[in-house]
Amino acid sequence: MPVKTRLSGRLARRFTLGVAIAAAVPAVLVAALIVLPFSTRTFWLLAVFAREYSLLGALAALAATAAAVVALRLGARRAGAMTAAVAALCLVATLVPVVTAHHDARRLGVPLSYADYFQRPATTADRGPDATVTYARIGGTELLLDVWRPRSPAEKLGPAVVFVHGGSWTKGRRSMTPRWNEWLTEHGATVFDIDYRLAPPATWTQAPGDVRCAVGWVRRNAVRYGVDAGRIALMGMSAGGHLALLAAYTSGDTVGENAFPPSCETGDTSVSAVVSLYGPYDLAYSYDLAVPWWAAKWLSDGEGRGMVLDFIGGSPEKERAAYKTASPITYLRADVPPTLSIQGGHDQIEYPDDGRRAARLAHEAGASHRYVEIGYAGHAFDLAWGGFGAQMARAEIGDFLRHTIRTG
């Protein structure tokens, strides 16, 4: 074989092998975030986006596999075979969320859009709130809400959504996920995205009353904002989902009314529907679910259990009565407002067992309750606004609100 031919073959082999390795690196990173458990808050957020946008990792893995096979045929036997094997494994790992998403979408009857796949996260929006209003002053604390109005207001009074942000009861602020507010206004709802008092110190006796106070404020000012007081829904995510459920379920319940009175002078605080995105129903049950060894310090001392401790002021062993009183499941009964609960099946912060158990109890009680589990999704999956999980959640929420508070 001529020297020039051998040289060109060697260069081609090295080039294709380099391409394979370069493509395999991002594929390995995405696959690792999908497969391996996370041990810190940063890795949790990265894992959320890796699962929701795993198709990008799959494309990289496919390119790496193809290039490695070419390198193998060009003579890079050991390196080519090893790279091809790793890339093929990554391809399988990154396709699992995509395949699972399509399975769940077929089960739910929701069409998935690849055209909508690549969108900015839910923490961004094309607009801001129309107004910021003080809805209560408690001691030296001023509680604010952002008003998001539809761009094309209806001639008649329309529906409203009181939105409660997440943040494990210790952090977060109103309108921290503005894309949800923007989307809800696009469907004809006026959105009131509220602040509430955060822990520490323990605010389990205060935050639910703040949410009820906000609902009462919206009802009192309904006509002013073009809202039908009989068409108000509560919606929240994570800790906000818990508070939304608690405020909705305790209104009209004698025990709940006494435990969590509105934190301001107000009248009726009832709502027509409630939506919870991965919010806990039973705080003690969720606390007692096994914390995996790889995340023990993070979930026990920082996030997760640590924030429940800040919210309640102690562990279930010491504050069992408080945990029961502060759990929406305590007030679950036949006449609670129609409820939609959406949960990620791979949520390692708020385990799906809690939501599944609540769904069973709601069915037994005869409550109007729909539980939707998105199998591959993790906690806060909807931050990836274009991801398949967020697409399914929007379809479910849109259908639910159309039937309960008659949004557009």
Please state the three-class secondary structure of 213-237 as a single string. HHHHHHHHCCHHHCEEEEEEEEEEE
φ, ψ at 364 (rounded to 5°) = -65, -35
Is the CB of residue 355 less than 8 Å from the CB of residue 342?
no
- Rounded Cα gap, residues 50 and 179, in angstroms: 20
For residue 150, whether the previous peptide bond is cis, meaning omega lies within 30 degrees of 0, is no
- Rounded Cα gap, residues 183 and 394, in angstroms: 9
Find the catalytic residue in 165, 346, 379, 382.
379
Q: What's residue 200's pLDDT?
A: 93
- Catalytic-residue membership of 126: no
Residue 31: both structure tokens together: 């696959």
- Rounded Cα gap, residues 404 and 166, in angstroms: 23
Q: Which of 61, 63, 38 is nearest to 49 (CA)?
A: 38
Q: What's residue 324's pLDDT?
A: 97
The structure tokens 């107004």 sit at 131
DSSP β-bridge partners for residue 193: 146, 163
Q: What's residue 1's pLDDT?
A: 46
Q: What's residue 226's pLDDT?
A: 96
Residue 157: both structure tokens together: 């009074």
Q: Which of 246, 148, 151 is nearest to 194 (CA)?
A: 148
Query: What are the helix (H) ranges across 170-272?
Result: 178-186, 207-220, 239-250, 254-259
Find the catalytic residue in 282, 310, 347, 354.
347
* pTM of the full structure: 0.94
Q: How many CA atoms lie within 13 A of 39 on its CB side?
A: 6
φ, ψ at 98 (rounded to 5°) = -65, -50
- Catalytic-residue membership of 238: yes
With residues binned 3-state (H G I as helix, E B as strand, rest as coil), the percentages for the chain, rounded to 5, are: 50, 15, 35
Q: What's residue 2's pLDDT?
A: 55
* Residue 406 Rama label (left phi>0; alpha psi -120 to 50; beta): left
- Rounded Cα gap, residues 144 and 10, in angstroms: 67
Rg (C-alpha) for the chain, rounded Å, is: 24
The structure tokens 């920082």 sit at 302
Sign of CA dihedral 282, 287, 289, 291: positive
Q: Which of 53, 98, 88, 42 is nearest to 376 (CA)?
A: 98
- Catalytic-residue membership of 347: yes
pLDDT in tens, the chain (408 residues): 454 454 466 788 788 989 999 999 999 999 999 998 776 778 889 999 999 999 999 999 999 999 999 988 888 888 889 999 999 999 999 999 999 999 999 999 999 999 999 899 999 999 999 999 999 999 889 999 999 999 987 778 999 999 999 999 999 999 999 999 999 999 999 999 999 999 999 999 999 999 999 999 999 999 999 999 999 999 999 999 999 999 999 998 888 999 999 999 999 999 999 999 999 999 998 887 756 555 545 555 555 577 888 999 998 999 999 999 999 999 999 999 999 999 999 988 888 999 999 999 999 999 999 999 999 999 999 999 999 999 999 999 999 999 999 997
Q: What's residue 233's pLDDT?
A: 98
Tell me 291's DSSP state: P
Q: Which of 386, 260, 385, 399 is nearest to 326 (CA)?
A: 260
* Secondary structure of residue 190 in the 3-state scheme: strand
For residue 153, whether the previous peptide bond is cis, meaning omega lies within 30 degrees of 0, is no
Residue 329: both structure tokens together: 């499941």
Name all domains of the chain by residue range, CATH numbers in brackets: 3-108 (no CATH), 131-404 (3.40.50.1820)
Find the catalytic residue in 54, 168, 175, 238.
238
Q: What b-and-e string marks burial along 278-291, b requiring 16 or more CB atoms within 10 Å of the CB?
A: bbbbbbbbbbeeeb
Q: What's residue 292's pLDDT?
A: 59
